[in-house]
Amino acid sequence: MTKTLSLNALSLNRLGVSVGIPLAAVLLALALGALLVLAIGVPVGEALAAFADGAWGSDYAIAASINRALAFSLVGFGFVLAARANLTNVGGEGQIAVGGMLATAMSLYGGAAQLPGPLAWIAPLAVAALGGALWGALAGVLKAKAGTNEVISTLLLSFIAVWLLYWSVQSEALLRQPMNNSATLPESLEIPELTRLPLLTGDAGFPLHVGLPIAIVLALVVAVVLARSVFGFQLRAVGLNPVAARKAGIPLTRSIVAAMALAGALGGLAGGFMLQGDQYVLKAGFSSGYGFDGLVVGLLARGSIPGVIAGALLFGFMRSGGINLEMSANVPTALVGVIQGLIILLLAAAAFWIERKESAR
């Protein structure tokens, strides 16, 4: 009896550490952000109102924030999955770019719109995920075969993908829309109606799309795979001690490549969501920072899927609010960058105390 009680107290304490510290960090960063708003000379109330309005002030704003959060959460799930094998996937940005490019190609020129029923939007998503998987697997192969540090390779692959994306929308031979005059923008055509992700309510005023249920299912799948499956166990074994894992007969190369490929697939899917769910047009700035935000969400979640969801929602609402901050209150969006940076650094610093508490147990 006393044993269960103390166990409960322990897990409550652990909950306090894993929720309390991040919450404190977020609040502290927001307070510092408010001070900055004051320093700029904008009334805090006005800035807050503009932020809230952009983040959750209307049905449209709420849906846009959640749609953003979906992309962050997918990259975050991928990060957590790879992290289980002690792999750090810094490549979300590139995987999103690859996913976005392939989803565009499939939607515009791959005949996706002619496919029957929901296949019209599922096929581009699948191609996006596949492309992301290959992009991620590349880093996995380099890691397993050449011992290349995956932090470095995924970072380099991100830059390569971002410039490939830039090229693809600059070149008419690739994805750029046909140039009718010199003012034709360097971006793709709009993707056909049928290839867009269906809206859950069918109402463009509340454009929450079918990516939400997909992401929820994926969250459950990733959580179950990590906690209950043989593959999840193998990943953890590889992460904890690759030498022992190999001795125990776990295929090292295959586990590493599979982990990176799955993380990449989730990143590619995030790119598909962004293109088919709310942007509809491929532009050079398509992936701007989404992969890095997703990476940070994954990092801050410290291996927990609910943590990824919480962080993704936070970042999704912050981004939407920040955009409105600039439009209605004349506070540069850059403020959100400052707050995000502060949150990341505060949490990175807090990890020190969290780990000390955990190891003290």
Partner 1 sequence: MSPEILAVFCGSTVRLAAPLFLAATGELVSERAGVLNMSVEGMMLTGAFAGAVGSWATGNPMLGLIIGVIAVIPVALLQAFLSNTLRANQIVTGIGINILVLGATTLAYREIFGARSRSEIPGLAKWAPPGLGELPVFGEALFRQTWLLYLGLALIALTAWVLARTALGLSIHACGVAPKAADKSGLSVTRTRYAAVLFTGIMSALAGCFLSIGDIHTFTEGMTSGAGYLAIAAVIFGNWKIGRTLLACLLFGAATALQFQLPALGIEVPNALLIMLPYLLALLAVGGLVGRQTAPAALTVPWRA
Q: Name the residues that contact partner 1, by CB under 8 A.
A: 36, 40, 88, 90, 142, 146-149, 151-153, 155-157, 159-160, 163-164, 166-167, 170-171, 292, 295-296, 299, 332, 334-342, 344-345, 348-349, 351-352
Q: For partner 1, which is the closer residue by CB, 295 or 312? A: 295
Closer Cβ to partner 1, 49 or 344, answer by number? 344
- Provide, rounded to whole angstroms, the least separation between the CB of residue 349 and partner 1: 5
By beta-carbon proximity to partner 1, the closer residue of 299 and 313 is 299
Closest C-alpha to 232, from 242, 221, 241: 221
Cβ 298 to partner 1, closest distance in Å? 10
Using the minimum distance from each CB to partner 1, give the nearer residue, 172 or 193: 172
Least distance from C-beta 162 to partner 1, angstroms?
9
Q: Which of 146, 284, 68 is nearest to 138 (CA)?
A: 146
- Do 108 and 191 meet the contact criterion of CB atoms below 8 Å apart? yes
In the complex with partner 1, which residue's Cβ is closer, 109 or 163? 163
Q: Rg of the Cα trace of the chain?
A: 21
Q: How far is the CB of 113 from partner 1 (least distance, A)?
A: 28
Q: State the minimum distance, in angstroms, from the CB of residue 328 to partner 1.
A: 16
- Give residue 319's Cα distance to chain centre: 13
Is residue 71 a contact partner of residue 96, using CB atoms and an 8 Å limit? yes
- Report, in Å, the least distance between residue 9 CB and partner 1: 28
Answer whether 158's CB lies under 8 Å from 93's CB. Answer: yes
Token pair of 77 as six digits: 């799930």
DSSP states of 248-266 as a string? Answer: TT--HHHHHHHHHHHHHHH
Give the shortest CB-68-to-partner 1 separation in angstroms: 16
Of the pair 9, 349, the CB lying nearest partner 1 is at 349
SS3 209: strand
Helices and strands, counts by H and E, the chain: 14, 0
Tokens describing residue 180: 């009718």
Please give the C-alpha separations between residue 154 and each of 48, 49, 130, in angstroms, as whole numbers: 37, 39, 17
Nearer to partner 1 among residue 124 and residue 136 (C-beta): 136
Element (H, E) at 322: helix 305-329
